[in-house]
Chain A
């Protein structure tokens, strides 16, 4: 379990996170939702230690990150997988080399073992004919899938995805969502996903944390989010007419 307790983060006088507390459980896909600029990326990067929180603690299965020794932190980091908002693939490396990179860096596997593992995860994300290509030569959706493959190649215990399906067509977006959920379930990992995509919320929102103005304005599941009358949430969720209708239909049905 990941426990976040009273997390604060500011940039100058821009107080982005104003005391966020929540928990993320194993085998579940946890969604952080909120408007663009609400601090989702800052929240995720603070969890990962890329940004140092100004206040508050984050613990991974009981271990409080800020209290760990330098080598324990590095150890923990090999158990984290992260898919960045812009994929962040190494553009001097081919797809295959990108995915192999963490293995080369941290495992003592032989070349053929590594190649097998890379093959396996690329198959897992449905990407097989692009191994020798460079990130600039593949589409955005393929880049996202390579980023997911790179994030899971070390069998992480914790997986973080920053808008894994933004900028993709609805079909590919759902494929990627489902892929992440399958992986989460299959390997029983803790997955935290940033999103402002309502499709994802409905598909994989086993737990949803709604951020607004730097605080946690609501949390619950994708079942509950339809019923809540928290105004901030309904404002955000039903900003589109389509969803307003869906909601009405849902309420009528029940």
Chain B
């Protein structure tokens, strides 16, 4: 228990150095947390016409998921390869069986790399896209225009993103697959292990609840990725310069929330 407390304190302390303000000011965090949940309530109330939402959802799927395929595939494949190479190079003891390479690759890709670290990368890509597009609408009074017309602007802007991000687990599944493929390619083509040993490792000690754990995390992160950057965009004040600043803040906080939730979920599910 003491360990958890120490970790929480270290987290809180390090958070202040990640944020722009280098002093500890917990009220801001609590206030923002309250506003965040108030925002979520408005996102899900008084939905705009389904006909309009449908088009928006399709557009967001393209912007958020489709346009992220490339970078997720690229990073997963090469990081998978590197994980395998590192593991192989560190196992030069002849008593450790070679299939551990495949095993280690599978575990690190499925449990952490694909769900968590790809999500941090997405906090940069998808997150800054969401913050800057909503923030620009705020600065140029487009959000005011929606409100004046009587449109629930939070529902209009954020709800389609949450729905579109429900496809995020597929993106992560692709990342998992390509990560392992990258590992296999690096291991087998690089002559570090045989294909048989690698596949034996992949199938070794396979636990379905590990997959469940990975995808529960992914679903939670997808919600965070859609809503936290939206929060920083929607409630920003100022002009174009502040849009850039808001994107940075959003990236920092989305990452922090993902890391903290990763810690909590891991404790809850595997701990």
A residues engaging B (CB < 8 A)?
45, 48-50, 73-75, 77-78, 80, 82, 84-86, 88-91, 101-102, 104-106
A105 touches which of B49, B137, B140, B144 (Cβ 8 Å): B49
| Inter-chain contact A88/B141, CB cutoff 8 Å | yes
Name the B residues within 8 Å of A86 (CB-CB): 140-141
Q: Does residue B174 face the partner (Cβ distance < 8 Å to A)? A: no
Question: Interface 1/0s, chain B 141-152, versus A by CB < 8 A?
Answer: 110110111110
Give Cα distance in the complex from A88 to B48, angstroms: 20
B141 touches which of A75, A84, A101 (Cβ 8 Å): A84
A82 touches which of B49, B136, B137, B145 (Cβ 8 Å): B145
Q: How far is the CB of B142 from the nearest CB of chain A, in Å?
A: 5
Question: Which A residue's beta carbon lies closest to that of B136?
Answer: A91
B residues engaging A (CB < 8 A)?
48-49, 51-52, 136-137, 140-142, 144-145, 147-151
B142 touches which of A48, A78, A85, A88 (Cβ 8 Å): A88
Give Cα distance in the complex from A192 to B51, angstroms: 33
| Inter-chain contact B145/A74, CB cutoff 8 Å | no
Name the A residues within 8 Å of B137 (CB-CB): 90
| Inter-chain contact A77/B149, CB cutoff 8 Å | yes
Could you jot down 5 A-B contacts, CB within 8 Å?
A: A77-B150, A86-B140, A88-B140, A91-B136, A104-B49
| Inter-chain contact A74/B52, CB cutoff 8 Å | no
| Inter-chain contact A74/B150, CB cutoff 8 Å | yes
Give Cα distance in the complex from A82 to B141, angstroms: 11
Give Cα distance in the complex from A101 to B56, angstroms: 13
Name the B residues within 8 Å of A82 (CB-CB): 145, 148
Name the B residues within 8 Å of A91 (CB-CB): 136, 140, 142
A88 touches which of B51, B52, B144 (Cβ 8 Å): B144
Extra contacts, 9 of them, besides A75-B150, A86-B140 (Cβ < 8 A), are A50-B144, A50-B147, A77-B148, A82-B145, A88-B142, A90-B142, A91-B142, A102-B149, A104-B49
Name the B residues within 8 Å of A90 (CB-CB): 137, 142, 145
A78 touches which of B48, B136, B141, B150 (Cβ 8 Å): B150
| Inter-chain contact B149/A88, CB cutoff 8 Å | no
Counting from the closest, the 3 A-B pairs by CB-CB distance are: A77-B150, A88-B141, A88-B145
B52 touches which of A75, A89, A105 (Cβ 8 Å): A105
Name the B residues within 8 Å of A78 (CB-CB): 149-150
Give Cα distance in the complex from A48 to B140, angstroms: 17
Give Cα distance in the complex from A85 to B140, angstroms: 9
Name the B residues within 8 Å of A77 (CB-CB): 148-150
Name the A residues within 8 Å of B136 (CB-CB): 91
B148 touches which of A50, A89, A104, A105 (Cβ 8 Å): A50
Question: Which B residue's beta carbon lies closest to that of A84?
Answer: B141
| Inter-chain contact A84/B149, CB cutoff 8 Å | no
Q: How far is the CB of A155 from the nearest CB of chain B, in Å?
A: 14
B150 touches which of A88, A101, A106 (Cβ 8 Å): A106
Question: Which B residue's beta carbon lies closest to that of A70?
Answer: B46
Give Cα distance in the complex from A45 to B145, angstroms: 11
Give Cα distance in the complex from A40 to B43, angstroms: 31
Give Cα distance in the complex from A77 to B150, angstroms: 5
Question: Which B residue's beta carbon lies closest to that of A101?
Answer: B149
| Inter-chain contact A85/B141, CB cutoff 8 Å | yes
Given contacts A77-B149, A78-B150, A105-B149, contact A45 B144 (CB under 8 A): yes
Name the A residues within 8 Å of B150 (CB-CB): 73-75, 77-78, 106
Question: Which B residue's beta carbon lies closest to that of A147?
Answer: B145
B151 touches which of A49, A50, A73, A105 (Cβ 8 Å): A105
Q: How far is the CB of B254 from the nearest CB of chain A, in Å?
A: 23
Specify which of B137, B142, B144, B145 lies most central, judged by the most chain A CB atoms within 10 Å of its CB.
B145
Name the B residues within 8 Å of A89 (CB-CB): 142
| Inter-chain contact A105/B48, CB cutoff 8 Å | yes
Give Cα distance in the complex from A102 to B145, angstroms: 10
Give Cα distance in the complex from A102 to B151, angstroms: 9
Give Cα distance in the complex from A101 to B137, angstroms: 16
Give Cα distance in the complex from A48 to B141, angstroms: 13
| Inter-chain contact B148/A48, CB cutoff 8 Å | yes
Give Cα distance in the complex from A75 to B148, angstroms: 11
Question: Which B residue's beta carbon lies closest to that of A77?
Answer: B150
Question: Which A residue's beta carbon lies closest to that of B150?
Answer: A77
Give Cα distance in the complex from A49 to B149, angstroms: 11
Question: Which A residue's beta carbon lies closest to that of B141?
Answer: A88
Name the A residues within 8 Å of B151 (CB-CB): 105
